[in-house]
Structure 1
């Protein structure tokens, strides 16, 4: 029996290490987004500052560990075996859930995850105990620390509203004070503002942060608490003077100091507040195991009352955990994915949007505009004009003219994000409330974005939709965390170690699968970034050369998909049709990437080559038509085969195979012609097009005649109509590419 629980303990710590890696990938957004979004320094410098904050914060998190031991359930009602069941279910659920969110680049709350996982597993085990002992279900309240759980959960969700409102209010006031022309206001307003911000951050670092540290004496903490007002006043005066001197004497941009200081503070807050989410449960399991071994009792008879006692975690454990978090921060690609989501939603300028509008977002934006217009009519015109001037962006923000290096927002907004989020998280930490750092930092960032008018009429519906998706994901986290943890606890309770082994295998399988998905997404993203990072002006020859290769490759791939889908239809081969669908998705993704690049590409075109620049627009337009046709053909063939409909008969199969061969040769000819740049064969291609279209018209007429004669059924006729009509579009649009390049080449030669 000892060996089984020792193995479980080892698995808990293996899961803890994995959870640290997965959790940091998710939570890096909390303290990196402001510094990275404002480009306050190089990424290396930002990472060094954040790493130091994590290391310091990890040693301050000991007091928060009590949440995992007694914050959600009453340990005196559980035996050692039951506690280990709860802890194991929680850790397996946590790593699967967080990895899933990281894969899709969606920031979620590790605090909400761990709280609802503990709640779900504890409720499941409690109900099983109640049923086995014949008690009334109403006694569930004795097992669950309902008052603490309700306080924690309500605090987490109330923080969403508080963080958004305070972030918006502080940013609005700050922008009126500074305007977007920050440099002119730095000397006096900037010094005082920076003094206030740094005093608030110092308040957290020196007053609230030390409470959880295992090495800080109670005497020092008491002295600090008794002299809070004096320390704050001295801190404000000190920082204001230092900031003024740095600006006047050394010409330092003092907001950079605030942002870097805030990054350190928020990274420290993250480690101090959220470390419990990753190692709190394994440490509680370790302490429970030690207690059980020392007691000599049976695992099903030892009550876990000792978990109610205040226990400080050894500093060396916290430092090791901090070290793992730092390594993950530097090397995790998923951490970058999650960070990019939040920076993208808060950026000041327009661009390609990740989220598509939904009905709720459209309604919110529509009614917000109406309310805003009503308020504008009530405010005096002079006030409105003055406020409008404060919020008018200036060229200072785009100090580097390239789209790649341009910050997503300025240093003022970055400093507000960090200062407000740090204060809110610090207050929660001081009261031992596991406030969600993700919720707070995200909602503060969204509040400041709104107040800063980053959500213009052109982008608001996309940004609001993104925020709704993220918040919806948070509620999804809570529901899934509770349900999955309860189910896993039930499995372990009944099937013991066998269930643990199977659940661990499930976790490994899911994590491996999501890793492959993320790697595929990253390949696409790196290609997009490489294209967007190009800033040199484009000339006519470069435009033609660059697009010819892409169009040729697309025609070649469509040719293969077309033949494959029709062959799969005739042979009733679902695997072949599935591959055709995957290739079509790749083509559609390429077209989507081109759409996202379109604006930047047109900006890069040299003025004297504007006519050639139209090539991008026309190719994008033709591609859309082309890919829509091949998508409908593949979809129709897959639907017919997957629904096990009547196979295409001999007469029709011969027609389809003949058509497939002719179109295959036609597309191959066009692809070679465009890539080679030798357009002497354009007339031949156009003659082939006309012959194919005429042949397809004959096939359509023959099909209609057959229907009228009662020879053909409805389903197969509709399938053939789709294939014939979309093939006509494929043939016609393919020829337009060749005609387009031929015309441009002749135009260039004429010049």
Structure 2
């Protein structure tokens, strides 16, 4: 029996390594977003500074794992076997859950996931214990709900406060410095740098180092008693230092950004380490206590009262954790994926939007516009003109390839640090992820980065991330609840099965992530296009990008036209529903393609736009019509089969099946020509398209004659005529797309 629990402890530490990797992949956005978004330094330099902060924070952490030891459950009422069951379920759930979010590129809270996993696992066993104890124990005796409730409240509080103050402080900073900040910082930069650096140091003392291994109660008490004197001294020192650095031509904003990155990385490692190794260490401590004192009582009879005390984590665990976190930070592709989501949502310029539009986002935009109009009416014209001079985005000093400037990056880091330090001093469990993300979103809104053409997409993205945080809590609680029950009743067999499932899910997630990244590499053309300034290169890249996009649309049309035709002829409702869902998704992609294509066209000079623009927009219109024709074909077919109406007769099936083969082949040929940019002997394909249209026109006349002679069902005839008409449209739009694509791709 002891060997089994030793194996569980070892497996917990193995999972802890994976948890450290996926946890850092998720939380890296907290301290890397601003520095990378503003390109404050090279990527390697930023990673190095953050890595040093992470390692020092982990090494100096005191390892107080109270939340994993007694923060959620009351260990004095749980036996050793029950505690190990909960801890194993928590780790299995946590690793898989965080990896799923990282794969999707969505930042979430490791604190919330761990707390609600512990709550779910504890709740599962508590129900069993309450039932078996016959009233001697209640849920209140077994679960400490205060921590979970405070985390839930902190979600609402931190999201709203961080967003509001991010917006307010960034607006004030922009009023002071403007977008052309180098002209307006002769004297103000010293004060700003002093406030920023002092805030960062204060944040490190209050949040990053207050629980460090070298920070004794005496040091803590002295810092608390002399906080005002320390803050004043730091402010004077850093104000003078930053002014001197500015005189010496050093970019103070860059210094502040890198300092803030280091401070947030240090605080993250020092405080969030419990989220990754707290549970395994609680299991390790439980095992040591059981082997020393509980073997006589057995695993189901030895109460874990020892977990009520706090434990000091051995230094080698801290150093090992720090090393794993640094390696994960430097090598994790998923960390870069999560950072990309946050940076894209806060970038200053327009570009390819990764999120669609939702009714809530549209309502919020309309409400904001109404509110802004109302405020504008009561604001004096002279004031509005003066404010507009401070927000001239065309004067923005943004590094090549950066998403926003140094002013915003500095505000993001300093304000996030201050809010987290304030929450800590007020004993509010603010999530680092929530605060840093929402500050970045608020500052981007204040910077007018959310224009009318992008606001609805940015808001949808923000709401998606916030929704993901709530999903984290629910999913963590639910999954861990059932995993705990499965382990409790299934024993060793259940543990082995769950380990196998977890390994399978992690491997599958990695494979899916690699496939998605490989697909994204194909879309790099657009990014190069938007960042280029050479007209010839822009046109070449746009032509390449257009071939890729039109090829995808023709592939979609070919696949779904064939599926709809086959499914309708065989009354396959599932196939029709699948195509209908694909059409809805493809319509969103078409809108995005048109939006990004128009943005790309705006980078060309006037002569090129006049020569190529018409063909480009015609191609987009024909591509759109192909997708909408597939939708118009699918809708009546789906309704017909779903209502169990009479099928086509044998003659109609034979006629349409024959022409379907020809249309599918035409779509294949068109896609091949466009993707390979080869239009030799294209006239043959145009003739084939005309022949297909002639066949379809003949089918339409035949069906009209059948209607006149009353030889078939009216409902069948109606859907059949619609199918023939939309098939004609598909052929016409495909051949027209081929013609305009040749003209757009032609060398001048």
Given the two structures, how large is their TM-score scaled by the length of structure 1?
A: 0.89
Deviation at 1:222, TM superposition (A): 3.3
Is the counterpart of residue 439 in structure 1 residue 434 in structure 2? yes
State the Cα deviation string for residues 625-675 of structure 1 (Å, max 9, x = none): 123334555787789889998776532332123213433554566567776
Measured in 2, the distance between the counterparts of 1:109 and 1:612 equals 48
Cα pair distance change 1:711/1:328, threshold 3 Å? farther
Q: 1:507, 1:466 → 2: CA distance?
A: 29
- Kindly indicate whether residue 162 of structure 2 is the aligned counterpart of residue 167 of structure 1: no
SS of the residue corresponding to residue 457 of structure 1 reads coil
How big is the shift at 1:417?
0.8
Return closer, same or farther for 1:431/1:286 CA change in 2, 3 Å cut-off.
farther
1:344-423 equivalences under 5 Å are 344-400=344-400, 405=401, 407-423=402-418
Q: How does 1:247-266 map to 2 (within 5 A)?
A: 247-249=246-248, 251-266=249-264
Residues 1:533 and 1:66: Cα distance change in structure 2 (over 3 Å) = same
Q: Quick check: 35-44 or 209-218, which moved more? A: 209-218
Distance of aligned partners of 1:669 and 1:312 in 2 relative to their CA distance in 1, 3 Å threshold: closer
Note closer, same or farther for the CA distance 1:560–1:198 as it changes in structure 2 (3 Å cut).
closer
Q: Give 1:201's aligned residue.
A: 200
Aligned partners of 2:102 and 2:338 also within 8 Å: yes
**Aligned residue runs from structure 1 range 436-515, under 5 A:** 436-515=431-510
Q: 1:655 to 1:334 in 2, by over 3 A?
A: same
Query: Contact between 1:63 and 1:211, CA under 8 Å: does it hold in 2?
Result: no
Q: Deviations over 1:227-286 (max 9, x none)?
A: 32222222111111111111112x011000000000111111211222111111111111
Verify the 8 A CA contact 1:16 1:282 in the aligned structure 2: yes
Query: Measured at CA, do residues 247 and 627 of structure 1 come closer, stay the same or move farther in structure 2, by a change above 3 Å?
Result: same
Which residue of structure 1 aligns with residue 322 of structure 2?
322
Q: How far apart, in 1, do the equivalents of 2:539 and 2:361 lie?
A: 43
- Does the CA-based 8 Å contact 1:94-1:114 persist in structure 2? yes
Aligned counterparts of 2:231 and 2:514: Cα–Cα separation in 1: 48
Q: Deviations over 1:525-568 (max 9, x none)?
A: 22223332132313899589748965578657755765566456
> Is there any run of 5+ residues in structure 2 with no aligned partner, and where?
none
> What is residue 420 of structure 2 aligned with on the other side?
425
Matched residue, 1:44: 44
From the superposition, tell whether residues 555 and 681 of structure 1 become closer, same or farther in structure 2 (CA, over 3 Å).
same
> Secondary structure, in 3 states, of the residue corresponding to 2:430?
coil
C-alpha contact 2:253 2:406 (8 A) present in aligned 1: yes
Within 2, Cα distance between the matches of 1:238 and 1:376? 42
Partner Cα distance (1:596, 1:607) in 2: 19
User: Counterparts of 1:382 and 1:252 in 2: how far apart (Å)?
Assistant: 36
Q: How does 1:683-722 map to 2 (within 5 A)?
A: 686-707=686-707, 711-713=711-713, 717=717, 720-722=720-722
Q: Which moved more, 1:169-178 or 1:48-57?
A: 169-178
SS at match of 1:212: coil
Distance 1:523 1:668, change over 3 A: closer
> Following the alignment from structure 2 to structure 1, what is the Cα–Cα distance between the partners of residues 166 and 311?
36
Q: Which position in structure 2 is the counterpart of 1:99?
A: 99
For the 8 Å contact 2:616–2:744, the answer to whether it is kept is: no
Q: 1 CA distance for matches of 2:50 and 2:745?
A: 54
Structure 2 distance, partners of 1:460, 1:486, is 39
Matched, 1:77 2:77: yes
Distance in 1 (CA, whole Å) between partners of 2:264 and 2:334 is 20
Residues in 1 aligned to 2:677 and 2:195: alpha-carbon distance in whole angstroms:
66
Instruction: Tell me what 1:537 maps to.
Output: 535
Kept in 1, the 8 Å contact 2:543–2:744? The answer is no
Aligned to 2:31: 31
**Runs of 5+ unmatched residues, structure 1:** none
1:204-223 to 2 correspondence within 5 Å?
Answer: 204-223=203-222
What are the Cα deviations for residues 157-200 of structure 1, in whole angstroms up to 9, with x where unaligned? 32222222222222222222212221123331111111111111
The 8 Å contact of residues 365 and 461 in structure 1, kept in 2 or not, is answered as yes
Structure 2 counterparts to residues 301-312 of structure 1, below 5 A: 301-312=301-312
Structure 2 residue aligned with 1:621: 621
CA offset at residue 356 of structure 1?
Answer: 1.8
Instruction: Establish whether residue 177 from structure 1 lines up as the match of residue 190 from structure 2.
Output: no
Matched residue count: 740
2:64 and 2:313 in contact (8 A); partners too:
no
TM-score with structure 2 length normalisation?
Answer: 0.90
Distance change >3 Å, CA 473–CA 301, structure 1 → 2: same
CA distance in 1, matches of 2:147, 2:670: 70
Report the CA distance shift for 1:102/1:681 in structure 2 as closer, same or farther (over 3 A). Answer: closer
d(CA) in 2 for partners of 1:572, 1:414: 58
| Residue-by-residue CA offset, 1:559-592 (whole Å, 9 max, x unaligned) | 5765566456657899999999999899879856
CA distance, structure 2, for counterparts of residue 92 and residue 552 of structure 1? 42
Contact 2:206–2:424 under 8 Å retained in 1: no
CA distance, structure 1, for counterparts of residue 585 and residue 375 of structure 2: 47
CA distance in structure 1 between the partners assigned to 2:211 and 2:542 by the alignment: 64
Match of 2:291 in 1: 293
Inter-CA distance 670–719: structure 2 relative to 1 (3 Å threshold): same
Q: Quick one: distance in 2 between partners of 1:83 and 1:560?
A: 53
Aligned counterparts, 1:651-730, within 5 A: 651-664=651-664, 666-667=666-667, 682=683, 686-707=686-707, 711-713=711-713, 717=717, 720-730=720-730
In structure 2, distance between residues paired with 1:287 and 1:336: 35
Question: Counterparts of 2:669 and 2:130 in 1: how far apart (Å)?
Answer: 75
Partners of 1:153 and 1:681 lie apart in 2 by 63
Provide the alpha-carbon RMSD of the alignment. Answer: 3.4
Contact 1:562/1:630 (CA < 8 Å) preserved in 2? yes
